[in-house]
Amino acid sequence: MKDIQSTPDFRNISLREAGIKDLKYPITILDREEREQTTVADISMSVSLPHHFKGTHMSRFLEVLTSSGCQFTGSTIPVVLQKLKESLEAESARIRIEFPYFLTKQAPVTGAEAKMSYLCAFTGESNSDKEDFVLTVTVPVGTLCPCSREISHAGAHNQRGYITMDVRTEKKPDGTFALIWIEELVEIAETSASSPLYTILKRPDEKFVTEQAYNNPVFVEDIVRNVAEKLREDPRVTQFTVTAENQESIHNHNAYAVVTWERTDTQP
């Protein structure tokens, strides 16, 4: 059958990306406690398209995906990207895998257990200049306003916040990227806010969390600095962007702060 995608195109326009997106697909990822976890991801895959090709072969994206076994880490994604470039005769390839990650969370006093979800993503890119891998983790937290606590005779306004960490780790000699657990980033985020969030809270737990938040007031500026301090101490981390956003409870706007950092040769 005639291969229309490979026929010549005479407009002399190269495309940075062409591919598929919004594909819902089951995947397997590493779980620190359970070894592996199966979840459902939203996947986007693309390659660059030379000016002389009319189109890319969309079915080959799925062929590469399924042949990978749909097991994704900082070790497997570089392999998938290389296969995409080879299969589609492209100079560069990109993949983004967004998924909910579930952890069993115990209430702080009663120990009641339930699953808590965290939105995560793996983003990988390969071209002639670089191989790149970014782990993104978004953690919901509780925050309490230091200013409100300082000026109020009773109570202080508090709200739900979200901490998003985009983290790059060092590239190893074999071409893979150093492993940092999702659980590690969750712990860093939760200890940088006023209090963690929980799925189940009985009354003793609710009392504990409320008082914990009151005793640990933080602005969004405090949160991103707290996270940044912890990430900079990890020798595996080479670069990060941290964003904190509060869904303000007494204002008609949200508050947010962002910090970026990159390790240099002069830094430990």
Model confidence pLDDT, tens digit, residues 65-107: 988 887 888 788 999 999 999 998 889 999 999 999 999 999 9
Convert the pLDDT of each residue in 109-147 to its tens digit: 999 999 999 999 999 999 888 889 999 999 999 999 999
CATH number of the domain residue 85 falls in: 3.10.270.10
Per-residue pLDDT band for 203 (boundaries 50, 70, 90) equals: very high
Is residue 136 included in any domain, yes or no? yes
Token pair belonging to 218: 């933080």
- Residue 201 · residue 116 · CB < 8 Å: no
**Of the listed ranges 117-121, 215-219, 233-237, 246-250, the one predicted with least confidence:** 246-250
* pTM across the whole model: 0.91
Instruction: Give the mean model confidence (pLDDT) for residues 33-57.
Output: 86
| DSSP codes, 92-159 | -EEEEEEEEEEEEEE-TTT--EEEEEEEEEEEEEE-SS-EEEEEEEEEEEEEE-HHHHHH-SS---EE
Owning domain of residue 112: 4-262
Number of domains in the chain: 1
pLDDT > 70? residue 55: no
pLDDT at res. 10: 63
Kindly state whether residue 210 falls inside one of the protein's structural domains: yes
Mean confidence (pLDDT) of the chain: 91
Indicate whether 252 belongs to any domain: yes
Lowest-confidence pick of 1-5, 226-230, 264-268 = 1-5
> What is the per-residue pLDDT for 75?
83
The residue ranking higher by pLDDT, 63 or 11, is 63
Residue 267 lies in a domain: no
Is 268 among the domain residues? no
* Residue 251 falls inside a structural domain: yes
